[in-house]
Structure 1
Amino acid sequence: MADQPGSTPRLRSLDALRGFDMLWITGLADLFLQLAKVTQFPRLEAFAVQLEHVEWDGLRVYDLIFPLFMFLSGVAVPYALGKKRERGDSRGALLAGVWKRVLILVLLGIVYNGGLQLKFESQRYASVLGQIGVAYGIAASIFLITSTWRARAIWCGGILVTIAGLQLLFPVPGHGAGVLTPDGIVNAWLDRLLLPGRLHGGVFDPEGILCAFSAAALTLGGVLTGEHVKDSGPPSHMTAARLLVAGTCLLFAGWLCWKFGYPPIKSAWTTTFNLLAGGIALWLFTAFHLFIDFRPQSKWSFPLEVIGMNSLTIYLTERVLSFPEISEFFFGGIAQWCGKWQEVVLIVGILVIEWLLLYFLWKKRAFLRV
């Protein structure tokens, strides 16, 4: 979700990385998959495997798109809410605004999942937008009710430990403790117990109750990152070095958890998954920070920033508009002359049309935000 343009100093790297992240789910992943199919180039085929989710446990590149977005939503918090606190807005008013935003995202998620069809028994109530909203709400609330970076870090660690404890130690009825299977993990039991309607995974939901709570730790990790960068003043290599070290520590901790039998499971948002995703997100953010914020005159990131500043817009628009049909209308004639490259041309057309739409909105300073 884009921050309010002009309301606070923006980290261009934050918008660019958010745009880079969204680009993969709006067509870039499909482009690489199609290129691998057409060319049968071994390295492309190997990379194509990384552009599909793992079945349950493990970690691939495509599994990092959602957590990276959640991490970045946390990075924006100290800039948006911190500035409002500095100008004198009350904590109560800001908390009310945070949870209003949560409610809107949860409702948008239900609509995205077909809520307007009014098929309540088969309706899926958990959603990507709902998880983003709840995790943001928890992380932003912790940011507002605590006064120090250390206190927020303790909260973050507490969430990670709590999730690990529940997933490894809680005796799930009919299964026992530490059963990390789709139907035996504590996440699935809670989803079946408390979530109405349809579960996306049948016996569990990858955006279920505990997943949203666990994801709050990753979002809070983004808050800690954004706060550290903001408080450090102008971009400095020392700040970047600290972020890289922190990311390395998270990756090492995640590797240790995995090695000792507690795997990364995105669909259950295990603590191991949080640690590994957080470490990679920190590395990516630091790289973008170094190559963009350290070079204020650099223009190469502008196309990504256009996407990042209206990420919610393109996510929702893709659900409403058929960009493949629009691409076929404009580029179908060209594509039919391209032989085996026909699908590649049409996917490139989708990316071009989506970007031009977002650029038009950017020129009009029209940003969808909640």
Structure 2
Amino acid sequence: MSNTNTPHQPARLLSLDALRGFDMFWIISGEHIVHALAKTTKHPFWLWLSSQLHHVVWNGFTFYDMIFPLFLFIAGVSMPYSMQSKMAKAGVASAAELPFAVKKKLVLSMLRRTCILVVLGMVVNGLLKFDGYENTRFASVLGRIGIAWFFAALIYLNTSFRAQIIWFAGLLLGYWAAMMWIPVPGFGAGVLTMEGSFESYVDRLLLPGKLHDGIHDPEGVLSTIPAIGTALLGMFTGRLLQLQKIPAMQKVFYLLGAALVLLLAGWCWGLVFPINKRLWTSSFVLYTGGWSVLFLSVFYLVIDVWGFTKWAFPFVLIGTNSIIIYLCAEGLVNFHTTADFLFEGLINYTPDAWQPVYTALSVTVVQLLLLYFLYRNKIFLKV
């Protein structure tokens, strides 16, 4: 008789693909649509939403600061599903039962994935236009996702659930202690500015090539440590969603409760350790984790529990090929040229004030047409 308390391998969560696509949508073209609408209409809602689609300069939080941690969180949610599939192929029920040879092969596969993401991140940074070692930026968004996911996966494979909780707390507390107590030459301890923070100091010491901001890199070495915590939060969420014994609606309530706790904890910690994306502070991990769980709970409820799926299809197209569309949108493909070729003639017949809105929408249409072609032909970039 099977133990219904243990995770199982359910069907793919459509809500997870849709949420990944929703998250990526704002990067690839959604922000441009909103900015154009705000400029054209001057409506308070669009003006507010447009203001949310910019990063804060340093301390603070906007919706745009959610996009990166939400994507990493989603990668963490997917982790138990992919791992459980590999364990099922090996004929075992848990990571602890994996034979050493199988686990070694799995870790090497994870390392390969991480290396590919690091290289792709450098390509996004302009590696293909190589201008010397000193002008090459090695840190990247994709690189952080790969590295943080890799270490979170190692923790998942080699520790119990209780130990994973300890790891999560230890990473956040350890990072906070280092940032507050280790002195930086010329600045002292606990200075949380771009130049004086311990995180920036470590980047200047250890990161090769150039830093994003000269004296600091938002995807630097030390701040990747709490980013592992973001992936672990996703992993905890994925473990919950896998459990057979808990009814779906009960899972939604658990997720909503966890989101509120994380938001409150992050806000409270932020009073002494500010919420800061560039430093990826521990309070930022908790606060963005709360929003991530909240978003997932809504998508899970509407799509996987209530079964309302058709509205999310454009997001699913983006979410199932998120790496491809991210690389293309970051400069490998000029969607604007194609959109102008196809739609500029029609757009020229519209009122001048609205033409930037329709131009931004035309770029989204071209992107979705490409993604639909890939989806229909079952072409997916899996790293």
Q: Is the TM-score greater than 0.5?
A: yes
Corresponding residue to 1:101 among 107, 113, 130: 113
Corresponding residue to 2:179 among 167, 170, 174: 167
1:183 aligns with 2:185: no
2:325 maps to: 314
Q: What is the CA–CA distance in structure 2 between the aligned matches of 1:199 and 1:233, rounded to whole Å?
A: 48
Gaps of 5+ in 1: 1-6
Corresponding residue to 1:291 among 299, 302, 325: 302
1:268 aligns with 2:271: no
| Residues 1:34 and 1:18: Cα distance change in structure 2 (over 3 Å) | same
Q: Conserved in 2, the CA contact under 8 Å of 1:235 and 1:293?
A: no
Q: What is the CA–CA distance in structure 1 between the aligned matches of 2:146 and 2:140, rounded to whole Å?
A: 10
Q: What is the CA–CA distance in structure 1 between the aligned matches of 2:124 and 2:106, rounded to whole Å?
A: 27
Shift in Å at residue 262 of structure 1? 1.5
Q: What is the CA–CA distance in structure 1 between the aligned matches of 2:345 and 2:309, rounded to whole Å?
A: 37
**Which runs of structure 2 are paired with 1:1-370 in the superposition (5 Å)?**
9-88=11-90, 90-119=102-131, 120-146=133-159, 148-232=160-244, 236-259=248-271, 261-296=272-307, 298-318=309-329, 319-338=331-350, 339-370=352-383
Q: Conserved in 2, the CA contact under 8 Å of 1:235 and 1:294?
A: no
Q: Conserved in 2, the CA contact under 8 Å of 1:21 and 1:68?
A: yes
Q: Conserved in 1, the CA contact under 8 Å of 2:194 and 2:200?
A: yes
Q: Conserved in 2, the CA contact under 8 Å of 1:95 and 1:144?
A: no
CA offsets, 1:240-285, max 9 Å, x none? Answer: 11111111111111111122x3111101100011110000000000
| Residues 1:359 and 1:133: Cα distance change in structure 2 (over 3 Å) | same
% identical aligned pairs: 41
Q: Conserved in 1, the CA contact under 8 Å of 2:184 and 2:197?
A: yes
CA offsets, 1:46-87, max 9 Å, x none? Answer: 221111100011000111001100000000000001221232
SS in 2 for 1:162: helix
SS in 1 for 2:278: helix
Q: What is the CA–CA distance in structure 2 between the aligned matches of 1:330 and 1:298, rounded to whole Å?
A: 30
Q: What is the CA–CA distance in structure 2 between the aligned matches of 1:39 and 1:298, rounded to whole Å?
A: 31
The aligned amino acid for 1:340 is A
| Residues 1:61 and 1:297: Cα distance change in structure 2 (over 3 Å) | closer
Q: What is the CA–CA distance in structure 1 between the aligned matches of 2:44 and 2:318, rounded to whole Å?
A: 31
CA offsets, 1:3-22, max 9 Å, x none? Answer: xxxx9731111000000000
Q: Conserved in 1, the CA contact under 8 Å of 2:16 and 2:74?
A: yes
Shift in Å at residue 286 of structure 1? 0.6
Moved more, 29-38 or 234-243: 234-243
Shift in Å at residue 108 of structure 1? 1.1
Q: Conserved in 1, the CA contact under 8 Å of 2:137 and 2:211?
A: yes
Moved more, 41-50 or 182-191: 41-50
Q: What is the CA–CA distance in structure 2 between the aligned matches of 1:233 and 1:128, rounded to whole Å?
A: 37
Q: What is the CA–CA distance in structure 1 between the aligned matches of 2:53 and 2:126, rounded to whole Å?
A: 26
Moved more, 297-306 or 31-40: 297-306
**Structure 1 outlier segments of 4+, above 6 Å:** none
Shift in Å at residue 150 of structure 1? 2.1
| Residues 1:20 and 1:235: Cα distance change in structure 2 (over 3 Å) | farther
The aligned amino acid for 1:196 is P
Tell me the TM-score normalised to structure 1 length.
0.95
Instruction: Figure out how many residues of one structure are paired with residues of the other and give that number.
Output: 362
SS in 2 for 1:205: coil
The aligned amino acid for 1:350 is V
Gaps of 5+ in 2: 1-8, 91-97
Q: What is the CA–CA distance in structure 2 between the aligned matches of 1:283 and 1:312, rounded to whole Å?
A: 24
1:3 maps to: none
Q: What is the CA–CA distance in structure 1 between the aligned matches of 2:339 and 2:122, rounded to whole Å?
A: 28
CA offsets, 1:201-221, max 9 Å, x none? Answer: 121000111222211100111
CA offsets, 1:130-172, max 9 Å, x none? Answer: 00110111111111111x3222122111111111111111111
The aligned amino acid for 1:314 is I
CA-atom RMSD in angstroms: 1.5
CA offsets, 1:305-336, max 9 Å, x none? Answer: 11100000101112211111211111111222
Q: What is the CA–CA distance in structure 1 between the aligned matches of 2:199 and 2:318, rounded to whole Å?
A: 33
